[in-house]
Structure formats: C-alpha cells, structure tokens
Amino acid sequence: MSKQSLIIILSLVAMISTTSPVFGSGGENLENANINFRDTAAVQRGAKWFVNYCFSCHSASYMRYNRLAEDLGIDKDVVLRDLAFADVRIGDTMDIAMRPKDSEAWLGKTPPDLSVISRSRGNDWLFAYMKSFYQDESGGWNNLMLPNASMPHVLWQLQGIQQPVWSTHDERAVIEHLELASPGLQSPQEYEQTVRDLVTFLDYLGEPSKVKRKNVGIWVMLFLVLFTLVAYALKVEYWRDVH
Ligand code: HEC
C-alpha cells in the first residue's frame, strides 16, 4: 500500500472516531443510563411522564407540538388531547403557564427549561438525578446529585421514599447509599424504566433530529469512502503516463 493511501485511510478512521459525543458526558463515575434513542415507544412513554409530572414547572420551549406529533408518529389531535394544555394550538411551542417570578417565589428557584438539559448535563447525570432524591432529617426532599435542590421529588409516589444510610470517612459523616424506606407504586425495576423513558425523551428533546442525522451520517461516510476510492483510482490513471 502506498504512503498516500495509508494517509487517506488513517484520516478517514480519525474522522469517524472523533465524532462520538464529547459534551455532557458527566465526568464522574455515573451509571450508564443505557437509553436507546431509536426506541420511539420509549420516547412516547417518556413524553407522557414528562407532561404528567414535569410540565407543570418545566417548559420545553424549543419544541413544537406538531414536530412532536411528526417525530413520534402520533396523530396531531392525540398530541393536543394527551400532551398539551387546553387551548394551545398544534404549531405552539411547549411553554408553561407559570411565570418565572411566581415559581421563584414558590420554589426558591425558577425551574429551568429542559429543552437542552440532556446536552448540558448528559443522560447519565439525568438518570442518576431522578434516582437520587431522598428524605432528609427535616422530612424535606434532598438530592445526592444536586444537594439542597429546590425541586421536590415529584415522582415519590412511583418510587417510594428513599432515606440515606450514613457512614464515617475521615471523621466526617457521609451518605454511603440510599435505601428504600417505604416502597412506592412501582417496583425498583419499574421505576428505573420510568426514569430511563424520561431520559430518552429528554435526549430526544435535546436533539430531535438525531435518528435522522445518524441515518444520513452512515450514507455520507459510505459515500466519502467510495468517493475516495474513485478519486484514488482516477489519480493512478492520470499519473500513469507521467511516471
Ligand atoms: C414543582 C415544580 C417542579 C416539577 C413538577 C419538576 N421540577 Fe425539576 N426542577 C424544579 C426546580 C425549582 C429546579 C431547580 C432546582 C435547583 O437548581 O435547586 C428543578 C431542576 C431540575 C433539573 C436540574 C436542572 C439543572 O441542571 O440544574 C432537572 C434535570 C429537572 N428539574 C428535571 C425534572 C423532571 C424530569 C421532572 C418531571 C419528572 C421535573 N423536573 C419536575 C421544579 C420542578
């Protein structure tokens, strides 16, 4: 193999291997959320959980209902009936009625828009966050991933109530792990699936065209490889007489 063709092949390999996601990878040793972004059923279930449990406080204002209908393969009427507040139109964005000033007064903090949260926090972080709510000594909610979070554990009825198990490290009390003190409506496995569905939906919100991009991407890479071969064959042909 000639030097040039080696360089071409190596640069193609480099191109492919550097396109893996670098943002929001979390950093810490987080459990893999293990989502499948192509699983439309999971995105649909996640959308339902989101609308029922999160959408009262968090907007997703980069997303429009008609886009949701199209991407998830749901009828527009069904989207409006099941996933939207009353009197919104199909072309509207997923906004909430609560005003930032009010939510700050009520909760201490304005709940952030969740359109691109999967990109800034990463899926593994979100997965851990939704599993890390616990009841502290005061009886209030706290969270291992976001200490003193102003968000209550909105899924506590599903998960049940977790309490911390303490241990001492260097004479300091630290939480070793969380323990399910009273069970919820779902088993731990079911709850994990619920959270995974939610994260799958948040991942979709963060990049609605991901499935399309990945599908097109494969063809683009194939084209580039083929084109390189053709260009190389052409080059050999042209230079034959020169050498
Ligand atoms: C009662 C209102 C309320 C509901 C309902 C709610 N949240 Fe929150 N959420 C908050 C508030 C307030 C914060 C800000 C917490 C802080 O920074 O202390 C927050 C923060 C978050 C964050 C962290 C953002 C960040 O990076 O700091 C995520 C992720 C999140 N919420 C997801 C959800 C999901 C998923 C649901 C539905 C299962 C949900 N929330 C339901 C009020 C709410």
CB atoms within 10 A of CB 96: 18
**32: CB partners within 8 A, 6+ apart:** 124
> Do residues 39 and 192 lie in contact, with contact meaning Cβ atoms separated by under 8 Å?
no
The Cα 67–Cα 91 span in angstroms is 8
CA dihedral 7, 21, 35, 212 (to 10 degrees): -70
* pLDDT (0 to 100) of residue 27: 52
- pTM equals 0.86
* pLDDT (0 to 100) of residue 220: 97
Pocket, ligand 1, Cβ cutoff 6 A = 53-54, 56-58, 107, 109, 111-112, 114, 117, 121, 126, 129, 146, 149-152, 154-155, 198
> Ligand 1: distance of its center to the CA of 81 in Å?
24
> Do residues 157 and 184 lie in contact, with contact meaning Cβ atoms separated by under 8 Å?
yes
In the 8-state DSSP scheme, what is residue 31? P
> Ligand 1: distance of its center to the CA of 150 in Å?
8
Spans in the chain with pLDDT lower than 70: 1, 17-28
185 phi/psi in degrees, rounded to 5? -70, -25
Sign of CA dihedral 37, 42, 48, 53: negative
* pLDDT (0 to 100) of residue 22: 47
In the 8-state DSSP scheme, what is residue 145? S
